[in-house]
Amino acid sequence: MQSDVEAFWSDFEKEIGEKILSRTMCQHFNSKKSQGEWGLLVLTASTVRFRPTPGENWFQSLFKMSAPKVTKEPLEDIVLPLGAISSLEFPKKHFLDFLFSPPFTIITLRYTACDEARELRLGIDIKAELYNMLLAAVPHTTSA
């Protein structure tokens, strides 16, 4: 099992052509009302990469009688050069967030691509090493 994991990450590094500094699971949110999609968040010396891992979560599968609809085609990675990221924003904390928030802290990476300001919303475990490395590499603020 351990050799399979090591082989996976070795192949991943060969595919992207960079050494992985840190990695963790996270959620990507297309919009503020999105339920999010799960995937791998990978930090290299020059990029932050989100790789979707398609599938249904365990809760959804409880209510379906058929097999989960998993795409056969791999989804494209979202790759942000670290130099393109202008800021990392945290949502403002509200009184009942501990009851009604997702399990991970949702951060917004603001970046520029094709001369256009964009954002990437991610749910990330603040105990993950990658989170602390990202904080050290990117300016951060609290959003209103």
pLDDT above 70 coverage of the chain, percent: 76
Beta bridge partners of 79: 49
Specify whether the CB–CB gap between 38 and 57 falls below 8 A.
Answer: yes
What confidence score (pLDDT) does residue 36 get? 84
Q: What token pair was written down for 40?
A: 């791998």
What confidence score (pLDDT) does residue 83 get? 92
What confidence score (pLDDT) does residue 139 get? 80
What confidence score (pLDDT) does residue 39 get? 92
Report the Cα 27 to chain-centroid distance in Å. Answer: 5
Domains belonging to the chain, first-starting first, are 19-142 (2.30.29.30)
**Spans of the chain below 50 pLDDT:** 58-62, 64-68, 70
Specify whether the CB–CB gap between 47 and 81 falls below 8 A.
Answer: yes
Which amino acid, one-letter code, is at 120?
A: L
Mean pLDDT taken over the chain:
82
Strands (E), the chain: 20-29, 37-44, 47-52, 78-81, 85-90, 105-113, 116-124, 140-142
The β-bridge relationship of strands 140-142 and 116-124 is: unpaired
Q: What's the pLDDT tens digit per position in 82-120?
A: 999 999 998 776 666 556 566 688 899 999 999 999 999
18 DSSP assignment? S
State the pTM of this model.
0.79
The β-bridge relationship of strands 20-29 and 116-124 is: antiparallel
